[in-house]
A and B are shown apart, each in its own frame.
Chain A
Amino acid sequence: MTFVRRRALRGGLSLGALTLLTGCDLSDHDAVQRVLARFSEWNDKVQAALFSRQRLAPTFPEARAVKDFRYNAWYGPEKAPRLNPADYRLQLAGRIDNKRPWTVDELYALPQVSQVTRHVCVEGWSMIGKWSGTPLRTFLERIGADTTARYVGFECADGYYEGIDMPTALHPQTLMAFRLSDEILPTKYGYPFKIRIPTKLGFKNPKFVTAIYVTDKQPRGYWTDRGYNWFSGI
């Protein structure tokens, strides 16, 4: 190897290291974003394969459930949508037999279970809470949803939107949560209900749900549209 080639190699290596270390990084280049997106799709597949339909998220003694749960959204709690139970109707769409809209009273009359599980945020913080509500599976069966479809999607009153894979939708701990700490879900936490999924990161737990649809087309997600991984299982 010639001296010039050696110098070029060493120069190239230190340039690469320097680029990384100075933060003048390549992240915003389209080609880099495409490669990262490819890895993210691969990670979706790995996570779907790792996901166990039977394995339950760890549950905790009720004493460890936080009463004053952390508020989290891209807007302040005063801007949380106030849904009026008199007007509220949960809309159903897609591969569902009975698409009749549901009122809050009808939803709250569904059979309910409680869970004390841990909410894990993509940022790294975590918090244990007590949620009560109907297993999403029970509701999907009741409305005649085609559970052989691949995805369940959600639309929310605050402009949020999310979607999950069917195995997660049918997981016994995936709830339509009507209560937090035994109280009707307060406005800022997503009244009249949120989807509580202890096997997913926090942002896959949509609040203020106004529509549920069943589909084979992968639903988009508010944060996944902003570059976060789609499956985001934990």
Chain B
Amino acid sequence: MTPIRDEQLHPLSRRILHWVMALSILIMIGSGWRIYNASPIFGFLRFPEWATLGGDGEASLARHGDPGVATAIAWHFAAMWTLAIAYILFLIWGIATGHFRRDFLPVGPTAVVRDMIAALRLRLEHRLGQYNAVQKAAYWGALAAVAVMILSGIAIWKPVQTYPLELLFGGFQGARVVHFLVMAGIVFFLVVHVTLTLLVPRTLLAMVVGRATELRHTVTSEHAP
């Protein structure tokens, strides 16, 4: 029996858009946390300054009475453009090239539950270049989450010029809550995404240099791709 080599390919356009979105999202989260701290939605929750983006808050406060919120907002309103543009290009590109159809479909609830149970029992085999149903669902979820972030973000940024968009989220303060909760969802996605990447570092290699291969594991699995 000849050994099979699995292969994962990421064309340059996909890699560029992936990393622009990744960096933009990190900037949005870090600066968003600093902005959140200026007027917390939940009294019990504040983000430690070291985890936020916006420079030395204490120095800024001493210098001119602003705890780096101005810089955080500047980051937020800069990265919103790079994120929105990369995201829209990624959607167009993903549909036009068939990347979404080929790699993220089909995905159904039965398959997601089956693979989720297999994954939790550590019985789910990872095959480089193929996405299991949980991964497919997670990518759709992440794509949808960014769309909701953009819409709720617009409702917060321009509540007058885009009125009644905010009503979709239960008003201006409702849009802030949605923006926050979906952020939490994206952070959860990132934690899982990065953890899994570290468990299978070749996937990171593929997303950086474009290609990675791996000898297929000989372990037999009940899970057929």
Using CB atoms and an 8 Å cutoff, list the residues of chain A in contact with chain B. 1, 6, 9-10, 13, 16-17, 20-23, 25, 27-28, 33, 35-37, 39-40, 42-43, 50-52, 55, 57-58, 74, 118, 120-126, 198-199, 223, 225-229, 233-234
Residue of A27, A52, A118, A226 ringed by the most chain B CB atoms within 10 A: A27
Complex Cα spacing A35 to B77, Å: 12
Q: Is the CB of A198 within 8 A of B208?
A: no
**What distance in Å separates the Cβ of A16 from its nearest Cβ neighbour in chain B?**
7
**What distance in Å separates the Cβ of A99 from its nearest Cβ neighbour in chain B?**
32
Q: Is the CB of A20 within 8 A of B160?
A: no
B78 at the interface (CB under 8 A from A): yes
Complex Cα spacing A223 to B67, Å: 12
Q: Enumerate the 7 nearest inter-chain pairs by beta-carbon distance, A residue then B residue, closest first.
A: A227-B70, A27-B55, A39-B78, A23-B50, A123-B39, A36-B74, A123-B38
Which chain A residues lie closer than 8 Å to B109 at the CB level?
A: none
Q: Is the CB of A25 within 8 A of B30?
A: yes
Q: Is the CB of A74 within 8 A of B65?
A: yes
Which residues between 40 and 97 of chain B lie within 8 Å of chain A, taking CB atoms?
Answer: 41, 49-56, 59, 64-66, 68-71, 73-75, 77-78, 81
Q: Is the CB of B209 within 8 A of A16?
A: no
Which chain A residues lie closer than 8 Å to B160 at the CB level?
A: 55, 57-58, 198-199, 233-234
**What distance in Å separates the Cβ of A12 from its nearest Cβ neighbour in chain B?**
10
Which chain A residues lie closer than 8 Å to B221 at the CB level?
A: none
**What distance in Å separates the Cβ of B6 from its nearest Cβ neighbour in chain A?**
19
Which chain B residues lie closer than 8 Å to A228 at the CB level?
A: 66, 70, 73
Say whether, besides A39-B77, A39-B78, A124-B39, A226 and B66 are in contact (CB < 8 Å).
yes
Which residues between 189 and 225 of chain B lie within 8 Å of chain A, taking CB atoms?
Answer: 204-205, 208-209
The interface on chain B, measured as residues whose beta carbon lies within 8 A of the other chain's beta carbons, has a size of 47
Q: Can you name the residue of chain B whose Cβ is closest to the Cβ of A36?
A: B74
Which chain B residues lie closer than 8 Å to A74 at the CB level?
A: 65
B21 at the interface (CB under 8 A from A): no
9 contacts between A and B (CB under 8 A): A6-B208, A25-B54, A35-B78, A36-B78, A39-B77, A51-B161, A120-B172, A123-B39, A234-B161
B113 at the interface (CB under 8 A from A): no
B144 at the interface (CB under 8 A from A): no
Q: Can you name the residue of chain A whose Cβ is closest to the Cβ of B69?
A: A123
Which chain B residues lie closer than 8 Å to A58 at the CB level?
A: 160, 163-164
Q: Is the CB of A27 within 8 A of B159?
A: no
Which chain A residues lie closer than 8 Å to B75 at the CB level?
A: 27, 36
Which chain A residues lie closer than 8 Å to B118 at the CB level?
A: none
Q: Can you name the residue of chain A whose Cβ is closest to the Cβ of B204?
A: A10
Q: Is the CB of B173 within 8 A of A126?
A: yes
Which chain A residues lie closer than 8 Å to B68 at the CB level?
A: 27
